[in-house]
Amino acid sequence: QKEVEQDPGPLSVPEGAIVSLNCTYSNSAFQYFMWYRQYSRKGPELLMYTYSSGNKEDGRFTAQVDKSSKYISLFIRDSQPSDSATYLCAMSDNQAGTALIFGKGTTLSVSS
Amino acid sequence: KAGVTQTPRYLIKTRGQQVTLSCSPISGHRSVSWYQQTPGQGLQFLFEYFSETQRNKGNFPGRFSGRQFSNSRSEMNVSTLELGDSALYLCASSLGQGGRALHFGNGTRLTVT
């Protein structure tokens, strides 16, 4: 079993839809949870950063962490064609520092 | 503020050669981490440097090494290149040691033939 599982998609939605992206993990020691967005031929860009459980909202983006279920989600409201990218979840425990464990990424396509 | 800069953007090398990749972090960021990204394995941590010292290392062979200079700039070296080393190599910087809010560069695409 991989430490972090993420459905690769592709996920195709119409403009304006609500998008739900998810990751599951097996290591209960993970405390830090991040979502990155990666456009083609670019490096990953940090979207959301949360510690432990709970929700965090930033504009059209909401990150949720459910540690009891070992499940994290990223919701994108009012999706735009510019949101078309690969979304990567990443996580780490208290000891790992910058040695993040990444999911393989979900490719999202938003059509106008 | 300028982002993380990686040079070169593309490299083509032959099996058995060695290669050096360069990374300039965001101004003020003292931690530099390196990752390898491949379609099969995704993003995998190579190592982190902070204050010119390697602070953490991933599960890669000794052919992969790095260093950090006093101005926080970092280089990564891969010796005796193998075909499987073909990948996108990403550098990321963060403010402090172990800082998990990583800011990535656009990477160096290495192709080994």
Of A42, A88, A98, the CB nearest to B100: A98
Q: What is the pLDDT of residues A3-14, one digit of tens each?
A: 999 988 899 999
pLDDT tier at B1 (50, 70, 90 boundaries)? Answer: confident
Q: What is the pLDDT of residues B102-111, one digit of tens each?
A: 999 999 999 9
- Cβ atoms of A4 and A89 within 8 Å: the answer is yes
pLDDT at A60 over 80: yes
SS3 label, residue B5: strand
Q: What is the pLDDT of residues B52-63, one digit of tens each?
A: 999 999 999 999
Identify the pLDDT of residue B98.
Answer: 74
Q: Classify each residue of B59-72 as buried b or exposed e, where b means 16 or more C-beta atoms within 10 Å of its C-beta.
A: ebeeebbbbbeeeb
Closest CA to A31 of A93, A85, A74: A93
pLDDT at A54 over 90: no
From the CA of A39, how many Å to the nearest CA of chain B? Answer: 10
The token pair that represents B58 in the structure block: 């991933």
B33: which strand partners? B48, B92
B47: which strand partners? B34, B57
Within 8 A by CB and 6+ apart from B29, the residues are B72, B93, B94, B95, B103
Residue A31 CA, chain-centre distance (Å), reads: 15
Averaged pLDDT, A53-71 = 95
Of B56, B102, B105, the CB nearest to A46: B102
CB of B104 within 8 Å of a chain A CB? The answer is yes
From the CA of A24, how many Å to the nearest CA of chain B? Answer: 16
Positive or negative: CA dihedral B89, B53, A92, B96: negative
